[in-house]
Amino acid sequence: MTTAEASPTAAGSGANATEAFRASTARRGSAEASQERVSTVVGALLEAVHGVIGEHDVTYPEFQAAKAWLMALGEGGEWPLFLDVFVEHEVEAVAARTQQGTKGSIEGPYYLPDQVRLPSVASLPARPDEKGDRLVFAGQVRDLDGAPLAGAEVDIWHADADGYYSGFAPHIPDGNLRGVVIADDEGRFEISTVLPAPYQIPTDGPTGKLITAAGWHPWRPAHLHLMVRAEGHRQVTTQLYFHGGEWVDSDVAKATKDELILSPEKQADGSLRSDYDFVLERA
Tens of pLDDT, residues 98-126: 999 999 999 988 999 999 999 999 999 99
Instruction: For residue 11, name the pLDDT band (cuts at 50, 70, 90).
Output: low
Give pTM, 2 decimals.
0.86
Map out the domains of the chain as residue ranges.
4-30+78-280
Query: Three-state secondary structure along 254-267?
Result: CCCCHHHEECCEEC
Please check whether residue 143 is in contact with residue 281, taking contact to mean a CB–CB distance below 8 angstroms: yes
Question: How far apart are the C-alpha atoms of 141 and 282, rounded to whole Å?
Answer: 13
DSSP 269: T
Which residue type occupies 173? P
Q: Is the predicted pLDDT of residue 155 greater than 90, yes or no?
A: yes
pLDDT of residue 230: 98
Mean pLDDT of the chain: 91
pLDDT of residue 164: 94
Instruction: For residue range 19-73, list pLDDT tens digits in order.
Output: 766 666 666 666 678 999 999 999 999 999 999 999 999 999 999 999 999 999 9
User: What CATH architecture does domain 4-30+78-280 belong to?
Assistant: Sandwich (2.60)
pLDDT of residue 10: 63
Please check whether residue 188 is in contact with residue 140, taking contact to mean a CB–CB distance below 8 angstroms: yes
The DSSP annotation for 113-154 comes to SSPPEE-SEEE----TT--S-EEEEEEEEEETTS-B-TT-EE
Average pLDDT of the segment spanning 258-282: 97
Instruction: For residue range 65-98, list pLDDT tens digits in order.
Output: 999 999 999 998 888 889 988 999 999 999 989 9
Question: How far apart are the C-alpha atoms of 73 and 68, rounded to whole Å?
Answer: 9
Average pLDDT of the segment spanning 242-264: 96
